Amino acid sequence: MKKHLKTLKKDAESAISKLKSRGMLDHDFRIKKDIDHVYMPLKDNCTIDDIGSGPWEIVDIEGVENERKIMPQKYSGSYDTIGDIIVMKYADPERSVELAENLMKYRKGTRAVFVDRGIKGEFRKRSLELLAGEDRRVTTYRENGLIFKVDLDKAYFSPRLATERLMISKEVNDGEFIVDMFAGVGPFSLNIARTRKCRIVAIDSNCEAISLLEENIKINRLDGNVVPVCGDAGEKITEYTDVDRIIMNLPHEAHLFVEKALPSLKHKGTLNYYEINTVENIEKRMEEFRAMGLELVYKRVVHGYSKLESMYSLEFRKVSV
């Protein structure tokens, strides 16, 4: 899936010139049209704040790669750009190096292309295989006005939730006490701390992720707003009470932590919960959580994951004490 700016046809010309002047149009993809609308492919980390308000919205739709850019061989899989590193989700074993070299050539500033051989273990680290460029997994990534040091060898990171993180940061009110239970290098916590005056406890059991988070707090001059904690979130959460908002971004296992975390959440407090699953299983999960005293505020798909599964963002309010 690819982010596009959707406008009515009559507004397309002004939207395109705005995107071009701000360097936000992704020339590696084609502009798409239907009867009434035009869809302009956006650079990966572009947000509505970068574009400015107007008669448009950002939507996730299937992107069509501009073949001229990826000649002579077209890479038909998806990939993530993290700073100057590209991570391909899948590479045809027979053509992988050639495809990676093409990506290096046509995506200016790329220093390395890896293929993702899977995310493993409690720390959700990526198993990466170098296909082209330097074997360097440390990079600087920019998101929503923040700068992150990322080390793909040491800690999990994905740029795919950049818009989601921005949306959550906009929901937060000044003064909230927030616990980010699976914080990684801190993208949820820092997106919130950038624009809101909150006390945020950011927990991760991977102490190398917490060290990177500490560096990221300094890089973004957000000292004092975010408290990094290395440890098991299921244990650590019990040390806090009267929490206004708990964020759980551990999409395959977060359900195992909900019961443990609920006593720490205030009455009417918010749970931002992420899960990768099928529609049917998400419905069952919502029933389960309802029985635990959580009322659904919204459910949205963040991105597709497999043929039947998607990453869901679910927000709940605690209604029983």
Can residue 184 be called a binding residue for ligand SAM (CB under 6 A)? Answer: yes
Whether the CA torsion 120, 162, 160, 176 is positive or negative: it is positive
Residues forming beta bridges with residue 303, ordered by sequence position: 311
Listed ranges 7-15, 30-38, 41-49, 176-184: which one lies at the site for ligand SAM (CB under 6 A): 176-184
144 forms part of the interface with ligand SAM (CB under 6 A)? no
- If one asks whether residue 273 binds ligand SAM (CB under 6 A), the answer comes out as no
Three-state SS across 118-133? EEECCCCEEEEEEEEE
> In angstroms, what is the minimal distance from the CB of 129 to ligand SAM?
21
Does the footprint of ligand SAM cover residue 141 (CB under 6 A)?
no
Determine, following the binding rule CB under 6 A, whether residue 261 of this chain makes contact with ligand SAM: no
In the chain, what's the furthest Cα-to-Cα distance? 62
Q: Should residue 19 be labelled a site residue for ligand SAM when binding is judged by CB under 6 A?
A: no
Determine if 166 is a binding residue for ligand SAM (CB under 6 A). Answer: no
Site string for ligand SAM, 65-104 (x = CB under 6 A): ----------------------------------------
- Interface residue with ligand SAM among 46, 51, 161, 262 (CB under 6 A) is 161
d(CA 162, CA 143): 7
* Min CB(251)–ligand SAM separation in Å: 6
d(CA 74, CA 166): 32
Residue 231: other Cβ atoms inside 10 A: 14
Tell me how far CA of residue 7 lies from CA of 17, 56, 58, 303, in angstroms: 13, 5, 9, 21
Question: Does the protein bind ligand SAM through residue 212 (CB under 6 A)?
Answer: no
Q: Contact 157/146 with Cβ under 8 angstroms?
A: no
297 within 8 A of 316, measured Cβ to Cβ: yes
Cβ-based neighbour number of residue 2 at 10 Å: 19
Of the pair 124, 318, the CB lying nearest ligand SAM is at: 124
- At closest approach, how far in Å is the CB of 249 from ligand SAM? 4
Judge contact between 24 and 50, C-beta under 8 A: yes
Write the binding mask 114 to 133 for ligand SAM: x where contact by CB under 6 A, - elsewhere.
Answer: --------xxx---------
List residues binding ligand SAM (CB under 6 A).
122-124, 155-158, 161, 182-184, 187-188, 203-206, 209, 232-234, 249-250
